């Protein structure tokens, strides 16, 4: 698909599809035709999945009205998927939040009594309430939180910094890819991963289904690498699209990665396939690691993982005959109670073969030392890294007891114990930019915690009852077509936007955060509230300006800030801040036996811990979170009816055997229960060999009685990352009685 045009008929269709939703009458935009004579071309960046790929969108506008969208062909990520195309419907969704909302009834009321208020009133109240809470309980009693949206994060982190609160958390510190990044940091010193690489003899896809979660570039890349002779190894409990074309698919049981990887390492060590010179020079803890592998014979690993022993041997040899690389899951292995150990075992697999930062292996980014990923703030200077790392700031955070390794190593706080710390009186206010409370397992406990706070507000595109019900204010965020910040970075090129004006009174998140910052601190720290000035403060060190880049549109602009790519950076002193050769670990070497984990948990080598076992009453393992190509988390349902049409109900993947045993047929409505909740979750059965017997797969993010997080317990956290066991729950499933249908929305109270 190359583009989408929205006609008046489509808009009316959208409006009628949305009529069933609860709405706050009079507060939302109505689809009114705006006429303007001039047609022009605009450029923006897609924000409809998790904000990370930053795909380019070229659009046609008449006056201030976007009328069509296309692939932006000059952009590094030019292909739009179904979600990208649906952004136009989302932009003109009649349920969009377009004005600031203020509550008029006490928290806990069934009806919050939302009324429209002015920006002036909202911002003045927010600034005064936040400073009041700060003077009463200290700045750290305000938790700043960004959900999945990455784009608002740099100024939000700056806001927390100058407000004086080290309590800044986000989706990455809750559940997403920082669990894998942490595993890499503890082992090889910093983020390190791979992907489709034609120089690799073997490409392993481990716990990731990128054919659906990163459709265009990745899939093309795999096809290209295979055409050049790379072998494909897939390690996944499900028979994903890539597993179907793989040279070898290890269909392990959920949560058994540590056993599988340790067994592969044992074979490689026994068969003398390691890179001895590399280990000698760059690796520490090899003897302890070898001992940890020793019990993991292929037969024992086979009993634990369910993978045939001969396949484990075959995979180990295929991997060792490198150079080999892997695309290690951003989050799925982290969603078990032994996640970091599982991830680390794969990093050890790469390390003992020397498959690190060489052509055809997993590699470190080629970034200047002061660059951090753009969603973490672009540069250490922009969010003032020194301040966050000070022991006195770390000491004010409340995740030390809950996740000590995380606390020691990470700048973002873990907020997974929010209900407990609110109960202990440590947090009194909450600031949520793009906040979805259903991110958490058993999220009602978090909702109740937020209800108890002295003050809270959120910014969002839509009013979301489950997340916003007990907030004091909800502020309308401008969408991707309507904002300047942030700019995109791909490799060494920068692309900026040419947007339309926001609808109604929406403001872009950067403007909201920077304006609040200007009110509670010196305006100079916050660029007088101006997102473009804030971007320029970063771009000036890269030899660019926002306006200068706009003049070059549609071409992205190269910057000399990013150095030319190099391999074996560890040997050249390019990784460590002190300029010495080696890795960014405490020892300067790759730590198979992690000194930081050992300090807190006594044992520093990756260990196997048995996943939660099914019982007679709850015999099926639920992988709760598998991505679908046309869904993103809790979004892309009512937000964009075009996507809703593709899948109007939550689905559950179930194997033909398990379905037959329960009399379940394709398309039946079914009920799912877990020992952790009285709630009965509904979905539509999809009978498929995508899942093996004993496993079911579902998405999270549906509302009403299709919401699955209630099935997941708030215990069994991975002690190293503090992440929740989203993939660890055991459930029962049965056919729903005739006439019992799923409900799309339920009141929060």
Ligand X SMILES: Nc1nc2c(c(=O)[nH]1)N[C@H]1C(S)=C(S)[C@@H](COP(=O)(O)OP(=O)(O)OC[C@H]3O[C@@H](n4cnc5c(=O)[nH]c(N)nc54)[C@H](O)[C@@H]3O)O[C@H]1N2
Interacting residues with ligand X (CB under 6 A)? 47, 49-50, 147-149, 151-152, 171, 175-176, 206-210, 212-214, 235-238, 240, 254-255, 257, 329-333, 335-336, 433-434, 436, 438-439, 459-462, 464, 477, 509, 623-627, 629, 631-635, 700-701, 709, 726-727
Which position has the token pair 């047609």?
39
- 3-state secondary structure labels for all residues of 343-383: HHHHHHHHHHCCCECCCCCEECCCCCCCECCHHHCCEHHHH
Least CB distance to ligand X at residue 636 (A): 8
Q: Which does 197 bind (CB under 5 to 8 A by kind): ligand X, Mo ion, none?
A: none
Question: 176 or 494: whose CB is closer to Mo ion?
Answer: 176
Give yes or no for residue 690 binding Mo ion (CB under 5 A). no
Give yes or no for residue 80 binding Mo ion (CB under 5 A). no
Least CB distance to Mo ion at residue 171 (A): 6
Give yes or no for residue 514 binding Mo ion (CB under 5 A). no
Which residues pair with residue 192 across a beta bridge? none
Question: 357 or 658: whose CB is closer to ligand X?
Answer: 658
Q: Given the rule CB under 5 A, which of 176-184, 189-197, 361-369, 390-398 is the region that contacts Mo ion?
A: 176-184
Q: Which does 459 bind (CB under 5 to 8 A by kind): ligand X, Mo ion, none?
A: ligand X
Q: Which does 701 bind (CB under 5 to 8 A by kind): Mo ion, ligand X, none?
A: ligand X
Which position has the token pair 């959900």?
147
Please say whether the dihedral angle defined by the alpha carbons of residues 520, 524, 525 and 529, taken in this order, is positive or negative.
positive
Give yes or no for residue 176 binding Mo ion (CB under 5 A). yes
Question: 347 or 726: whose CB is closer to Mo ion?
Answer: 726
**Pairing between β-strand 651-654 and β-strand 65-71 as defined by DSSP bridges:** unpaired
Least CB distance to ligand X at residue 393 (A): 25
Do the beta carbons of residue 207 and residue 360 sit within 8 Å? no
Question: 208 or 518: whose CB is closer to Mo ion?
Answer: 208
Question: 70 or 210: whose CB is closer to Mo ion?
Answer: 210
**Pairing between β-strand 101-102 and β-strand 473-476 as defined by DSSP bridges:** antiparallel
Q: Given the rule CB under 5 A, which of 8-16, 172-180, 439-447, 531-539 is the region that contacts Mo ion?
A: 172-180
Any idea what the Cα angle at residue 401 is, between residues 398 and 404, rounded to 5°? Answer: 100
Report the length, in residues, of the chain: 749
The alpha carbon of 575 is separated from its chain's Cα centroid by a whole number of angstroms, namely 26
Question: Rounded distance, CA 561 to CA 130, Å?
Answer: 37
Nearest to 217 by CA among 232, 233, 197: 197
Question: 176 or 449: whose CB is closer to Mo ion?
Answer: 176
Residue nearest to Mo ion (CB): 176
Question: 155 or 285: whose CB is closer to ligand X?
Answer: 155
Q: Is 476 left (phi over 0), alpha (psi -120 to 50) or beta?
A: beta
Question: 162 or 510: whose CB is closer to ligand X?
Answer: 510
Tell me the helices (H) and strands (E) count for the chain, helix number first. 29, 26
Per-residue burial over 396-411, b = 16 or more CB atoms within 10 Å of its CB, e = otherwise:
bbbbeebbbbbbeebb
Residues in contact with Mo ion, shown as a per-residue x/- string from 351 to 390 under the rule CB under 5 A: ----------------------------------------
Question: 283 or 485: whose CB is closer to ligand X?
Answer: 485
Least CB distance to Mo ion at residue 270 (A): 37
Residues 6+ apart with CB under 8 A from 360: 197, 199, 200, 201, 322, 323, 324, 325
Q: Which does 70 bind (CB under 5 to 8 A by kind): Mo ion, ligand X, none?
A: none
| Inter-CA distances, 749 with 109, 204, 458, 467, Å | 8, 46, 19, 12
Least CB distance to ligand X at residue 47 (A): 5
Give yes or no for residue 575 binding Mo ion (CB under 5 A). no
Question: 549 or 622: whose CB is closer to ligand X?
Answer: 622
Q: Which does 336 bind (CB under 5 to 8 A by kind): ligand X, Mo ion, none?
A: ligand X
Q: Which does 477 bind (CB under 5 to 8 A by kind): ligand X, Mo ion, none?
A: ligand X
Question: Rounded distance, CA 530 to CA 593, Å?
Answer: 47
Residue nearest to ligand X (CB): 625
Least CB distance to ligand X at residue 70 (A): 21
Question: Rounded distance, CA 667 to CA 684, Å?
Answer: 6
3-state secondary structure of 505: coil
Q: Given the rule CB under 5 A, which of 70-78, 168-176, 216-224, 509-517 is the region that contacts Mo ion?
A: 168-176
Cβ-based burial of 320 (10 A; exposed 0-12, middle 13-18, buried ≥19): buried
| Inter-CA distances, 386 with 121, 161, 168, 246, 370, Å | 35, 11, 15, 45, 11
Cβ-based burial of 423 (10 A; exposed 0-12, middle 13-18, buried ≥19): middle
Least CB distance to Mo ion at residue 146 (A): 12
Q: Given the rule CB under 5 A, which of 169-177, 193-201, 364-372, 404-412 is the region that contacts Mo ion?
A: 169-177
- Residue 616 DSSP one-character state: S
Residue 686: CB atoms within 10 A of its CB come to 18
Give yes or no for residue 631 binding Mo ion (CB under 5 A). no
Least CB distance to ligand X at residue 340 (A): 12
Please say whether the dihedral angle defined by the alpha carbons of residues 622, 623, 629 and 634, taken in this order, is positive or negative.
positive
Question: 371 or 700: whose CB is closer to ligand X?
Answer: 700
Question: 255 or 298: whose CB is closer to ligand X?
Answer: 255
Give yes or no for residue 333 binding Mo ion (CB under 5 A). no
Question: Rounded distance, CA 42 to CA 67, Å?
Answer: 11
Least CB distance to ligand X at residue 258 (A): 10
Question: 169 or 422: whose CB is closer to Mo ion?
Answer: 169
Do the beta carbons of residue 646 and residue 82 sit within 8 Å? yes
Question: Rounded distance, CA 395 to CA 403, Å?
Answer: 13
Least CB distance to ligand X at residue 462 (A): 5
Question: 481 or 561: whose CB is closer to ligand X?
Answer: 481
Q: Given the rule CB under 5 A, which of 174-182, 243-251, 429-437, 693-701 is the region that contacts Mo ion?
A: 174-182
Tokens read off for 79: 């292909």
Q: Which does 553 bind (CB under 5 to 8 A by kind): ligand X, Mo ion, none?
A: none
* Torsion angle (degrees, nearest 10) of CA 266, 267, 270, 275: -90
Least CB distance to ligand X at residue 278 (A): 26
The stretches of 434-541 forming alpha helices (DSSP H) are 444-451, 465-468, 509-520, 531-539
Least CB distance to Mo ion at residue 336 (A): 15
Least CB distance to Mo ion at residue 213 (A): 9
Q: Which does 212 bind (CB under 5 to 8 A by kind): Mo ion, ligand X, none?
A: ligand X
Least CB distance to ligand X at residue 360 (A): 22
Tokens read off for 689: 């060999």
Nearest to 352 by CA among 406, 281, 409, 411: 281
Least CB distance to ligand X at residue 37 (A): 31
Nearest to 185 by CA among 34, 477, 19, 409: 409
Tokens read off for 88: 């136009």
Question: 213 or 274: whose CB is closer to Mo ion?
Answer: 213
Question: 180 or 197: whose CB is closer to ligand X?
Answer: 180
Rule CB under 5 A: which residues touch Mo ion?
176
């Amino acid at each position: 698909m190359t583009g989408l045009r929205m006609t008046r008929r489509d808009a009316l269709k959208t409006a009628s599809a949305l009529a069933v939703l609860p709405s706050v009458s009079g507060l939302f935009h109505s689809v009114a035709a705006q006429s303007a004579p001039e047609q022009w071309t605009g450029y923006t960046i897609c924000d409809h999945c998790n904000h990370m790929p930053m795909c380019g969108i070229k659009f046609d506008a008449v006056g201030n009205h976007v009328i069509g969208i296309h692939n932006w062909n000059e952009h590094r990520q030019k292909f739009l998927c179904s979600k990208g195309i649906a952004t136009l419907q989302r932009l003109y969704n009649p349920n969009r939040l377009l004005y600031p909302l203020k509550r008029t009834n006490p928290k806990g009321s069934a009806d919050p009594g939302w009324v429209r208020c002015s920006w002036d009133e909202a911002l003045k109240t927010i600034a005064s309430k936040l400073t009041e809470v700060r003077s009463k309980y200290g700045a750290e009693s305000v938790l700043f939180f960004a959900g999945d949206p990455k784009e608002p994060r740099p100024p939000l982190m700056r806001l927390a910094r100058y407000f004086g609160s080290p309590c800044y958390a986000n989706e990455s510190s809750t559940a997403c890819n920082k669990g894998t990044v942490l595993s890499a940091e503890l082992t090889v010193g910093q983020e390190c991963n791979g992907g489709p690489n034609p120089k690799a003899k073997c490409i392993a896809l481990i716990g990731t289904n990128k054919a659906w979660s990163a459709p265009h570039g990745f899939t093309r890349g795999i096809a290209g690498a295979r055409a050049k002779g790379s072998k494909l190894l897939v390690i996944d409990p499900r028979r994903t699209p890539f597993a179907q074309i793989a040279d070898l698919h290890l269909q392990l049981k959920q949560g058994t990665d540590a056993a599988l990887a340790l067994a592969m390492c044992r074979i490689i060590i026994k068969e003398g396939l390691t890179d001895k010179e590399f280990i000698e020079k760059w690796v520490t803890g090899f003897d302890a690691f070898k001992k940890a592998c020793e019990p993991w014979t292929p037969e024992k690993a086979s009993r634990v993982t369910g993978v045939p022993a001969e396949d484990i041997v075959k995979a180990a040899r295929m991997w060792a005959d490198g150079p080999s690389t892997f695309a290690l899951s951003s989050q799925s292995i982290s969603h078990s109670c032994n996640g970091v150990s599982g991830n680390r075992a794969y990093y050890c697999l790469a390390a003992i073969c020397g498959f690190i930062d060489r052509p055809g292996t997993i590699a470190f980014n080629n970034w200047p030392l002061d660059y951090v990923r753009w969603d973490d703030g672009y540069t250490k200077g922009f969010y003032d890294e020194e301040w966050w790392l000070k022991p006195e700031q770390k000491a004010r955070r409340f995740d030390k007891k809950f996740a000590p390794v995380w606390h020691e190593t990470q700048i973002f706080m873990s907020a997974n114990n929010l209900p407990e710390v609110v109960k202990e009186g440590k947090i009194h206010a909450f600031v949520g930019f793009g906040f979805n409370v259903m991110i958490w397992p058993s999220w009602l406990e978090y909702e109740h915690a937020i209800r108890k706070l002295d003050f809270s507000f959120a910014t969002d595109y839509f009013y979301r009852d489950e997340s916003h019900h007990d907030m004091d204010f909800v502020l309308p965020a401008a969408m991707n077509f309507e904002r300047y910040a942030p700019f995109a970075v791909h490799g060494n090129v920068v692309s900026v936007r040419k947007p339309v004006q926001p609808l109604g009174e929406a403001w872009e998140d950067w403007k909201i955060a920077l304006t609040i910052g200007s009110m509670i601190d010196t305006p100079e720290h916050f660029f007088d509230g101006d997102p473009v000035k804030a971007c320029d403060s970063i771009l000036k060190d890269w030899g660019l300006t926002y306006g200068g880049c706009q003049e070059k549109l549609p071409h992205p602009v190269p910057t000399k800030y990013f150095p030319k790519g190099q391999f074996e950076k560890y040997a050249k002193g390019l990784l460590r801040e002190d300029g010495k050769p080696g890795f960014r670990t405490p020892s300067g070497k790759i730590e198979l036996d992690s000194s930081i984990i050992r300090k807190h948990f006594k044992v520093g080598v990756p260990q196997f811990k048995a996943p939660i076992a099914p019982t007679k009453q709850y015999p099926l393992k639920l992988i709760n979170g598998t991505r679908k190509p046309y869904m993103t988390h809790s979004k892309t349902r009512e937000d964009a009816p075009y996507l809703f049409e593709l899948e109007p109900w939550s689905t559950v993947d179930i194997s033909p055997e398990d379905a037959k045993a329960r009399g379940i047929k394709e398309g039946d409505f079914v009920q799912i229960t877990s020992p952790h909740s009285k709630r009965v979750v509904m979905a539509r059965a999809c009978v498929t060999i995508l899942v093996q017997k004993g496993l079911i797969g579902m998405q999270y993010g549906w509302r009403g009685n299709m919401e699955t997080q209630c099935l997941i317990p708030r215990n069994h956290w991975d002690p190293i990352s503090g992440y929740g066991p989203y993939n660890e729950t055991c459930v029962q499933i049965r056919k729903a009685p005739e006439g019992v249908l799923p409900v799309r929305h339920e009141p929060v109270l």
